[in-house]
Amino acid sequence: PIGDTHPSTNGAYIAAASVYTRIWGESAAESSHNPLPAVAATVQTTVTANIGVQQYTGKFSFQNPYLMLDDKRRSIFFENWGSSTELGVQLACRSAIAGSKIGFEAGAEPYAWNHGREGGGSKSYRIDASQWQLGFGYKFRSYTWNQPIPTANDTHIGQIHDEYKSANHMSTRGSTARIVPWRLLWAQLHQVYPDLNPLADNAGHLSYGHGYGISNYMYTLYSGRCPLGVKPSPMTDRWQAQKIGYETAWRVGRCQMRAPGFKVMPSSVNAHTVTPTTAETMSVQFILPPEKPVTVQVSVSNAAAIVNPKYLTFTPSNYDTAQFVHVQGLPGGSASEPFAVQFDTVSEDLVYHELNDSWSYSTERSSVEAVTVTVIEQADRSLTIPNRNATMIPLNVSGSVPSNTTFSHPLHGTISWFGENVIYTPAVDFVGTDSFSFAVNQGGTITRGHVIIT
């Protein structure tokens, strides 16, 4: 670099050669501008070897117009500034959050976001952290809407540069500004469906397919969650648009080459509570395939509940088959006790490693403990049962009886009491891994444990 800020001539050539090789799939030595053929060859080798290879891990926290907010609230509200096109995007957004089992209601400010045009006058997005957590803006050039895509792109060749300038401008507006690169979203959809029209009519309204891409992009950047459903058969352009929106937001928000499609959901939008006698069932799956197995670890933030199973395993062959987690409320010292169910991943596939999600619940109790509740955590235990026989399993809690013990029951077998211990009986012909969780309440001292059975 020159003066630590500007690249030298060679540095500029390396950057240009990298772009050339990525676009054309060949060495920049094939171009008419070729002062450094040896450098071009090295660039081609390096770029080709790193296509699809993850370069970064973790979350990026520096301020930028693609920064994910990672807000996990269970009900949100958002507004648009505009007319029919912006309203269409808003309706698509409501569809995206409904599919993720997130509620839509106003509540108190600040609302989740508002969206509008960059430099669109009364239709422009707003930046005000006291009213909206985020402001989403997109570059809308009315002078190209009625032109064929190749003509519009060739005539206004700086379209990507315009979006880059827009991103920089939004960054100067405040830390809540975010950009929607909607021409980039359309370009990707156009690659899959070259005959698809980006406009819905002759009045310049965006197609609904494009709107679905924008909506998934905005919700992903807001929540860090995957609003994409399982791939349909036959394929639809709507799902492709949603996939492009989600993947683009994840890749720019996480600086990753791929998106994982990590999807955790409650049983319904309104499933917010459990009790000591009732449970909630949550689903976990991946929409997009990992390259290596992924373990999902499930935990509870406090002593209000237990979960089972605590460990889920997904592979490149079963990644999109939903697995289920049961959340069971426990006795306690208050009528209502909030808690969160936390999901964390471990994998050798870096894109799928250290993902997380969290869902808020509360345990509602008709009667409460008259003493201070103390929690004792047992270490997780793993047991092997030969020949899949019924086997006695000690809870290792003196004085445990049915009246003071709560179970999150096994998914592939049953448990019955035998003194202070239990007998686990696998289902007929079941072969595999099962588990159960329990909590024993003795005068306000709650002992929690988890048993894995193979």
pLDDT digits 0-9 by tens, 384-414: 987 778 999 999 999 999 999 999 999 999 9
Tell the residue number behind the tokens 């990026």, with chain if given. Answer: 60
- Asked if the model's pLDDT at residue 322 lies above 70, the reply is yes
- Asked if the model's pLDDT at residue 158 lies above 50, the reply is no
| Alpha carbon separation from 52 to 26, 107, 245 (Å, rounded) | 17, 42, 19
What does the pLDDT read at residue 306? 96
Q: Give percent above pLDDT 90 in the chain.
A: 61
Q: Give the pLDDT band of residue 33 (cuts 50, 70, 90).
A: confident
- Token readout for 94 is 């409501």
What does the pLDDT read at residue 314? 98
What is the spatial distance between Cα 182 and Cα 386, in angstroms, rounded to a whole number?
Answer: 58
CB-based contacts of 90, cutoff 8 Å, min separation 6: 78, 79, 80, 115
- Asked if the model's pLDDT at residue 142 lies above 70, the reply is no
Q: Give the pLDDT band of residue 157 (cuts 50, 70, 90).
A: very low
What does the pLDDT read at residue 48? 94
295, 352 Cβ separation under 8 angstroms? no
Tell the residue number behind the tokens 């089972």, with chain if given. Answer: 308
Q: Give the pLDDT band of residue 300 (cuts 50, 70, 90).
A: very high
Mean pLDDT for the stretch of residues 311-334: 96
Burial string for 314-349 (b: 16+ CB within 10 Å, else e) reads: beeeebeeeeebbbbbbbbeeeebebbbbbebebeb
What is the spatial distance between Cα 190 and Cα 198, in angstroms, rounded to a whole number?
Answer: 8
Task: Look at residue 220 and give its three-state secondary structure.
Answer: helix
- Asked if the model's pLDDT at residue 13 lies above 50, the reply is yes
Packing angle, helices 208-223 and 84-99, rounded to 10: 60
Residues 190-213 pLDDT 10s: 889 888 777 777 776 777 677 889
Task: Look at residue 315 and give its three-state secondary structure.
Answer: coil
- Asked if the model's pLDDT at residue 168 lies above 90, the reply is no
What is the spatial distance between Cα 40 and Cα 22, in angstroms, rounded to a whole number?
Answer: 12
What does the pLDDT read at residue 268? 97
Largest alpha-carbon pair distance within the chain? 85
Mean pLDDT for the stretch of residues 278-300: 97
Cα 224 from chain centroid (whole Å): 5
Average pLDDT, the chain: 88
What is the spatial distance between Cα 378 and Cα 375, in angstroms, rounded to a whole number?
Answer: 10
What is the spatial distance between Cα 226 and Cα 247, in angstroms, rounded to a whole number?
Answer: 9
Residues 336-387 pLDDT 10s: 999 999 999 999 999 999 999 999 999 999 988 766 778 899 999 999 987 7
What is the spatial distance between Cα 243 and Cα 239, in angstroms, rounded to a whole number?
Answer: 6
- Asked if the model's pLDDT at residue 177 lies above 80, the reply is yes
Beta strands in 127-220 (DSSP E): 132-138, 177-179
| Alpha carbon separation from 418 to 29, 319, 384, 385, 402 (Å, rounded) | 78, 38, 19, 17, 10
376, 398 Cβ separation under 8 angstroms? no
Peptide bond preceding 148 in cis form (omega within 30 of 0): no
- Asked if the model's pLDDT at residue 120 lies above 70, the reply is no
Q: CA-based Rg of the chain, rounded to a whole angstrom?
A: 27
What is the spatial distance between Cα 198 and Cα 191, in angstroms, rounded to a whole number?
Answer: 12
270, 255 Cβ separation under 8 angstroms? no
What does the pLDDT read at residue 31? 79
Mean pLDDT for the stretch of residues 41-67: 86
Mean pLDDT for the stretch of residues 323-333: 94
- 3-state percent breakdown (helix, strand, coil) of the chain, nearest 5: 30, 30, 40
What DSSP string describes 47-93? HHHTTT-----S---S--TT-------SEE-EEE-SSHHHHHHHHHH
What is the spatial distance between Cα 299 and Cα 255, in angstroms, rounded to a whole number?
Answer: 28
Residues 440-451 pLDDT 10s: 998 888 999 999
Q: What is the pTM of this model?
A: 0.86
- Token readout for 188 is 């990707």
378, 447 Cβ separation under 8 angstroms? yes
What does the pLDDT read at residue 198? 72
Peptide bond preceding 386 in cis form (omega within 30 of 0): no
What is the spatial distance between Cα 24 and Cα 81, in angstroms, rounded to a whole number?
Answer: 40
| Alpha carbon separation from 123 to 81, 136, 147, 217, 219 (Å, rounded) | 5, 12, 22, 20, 20
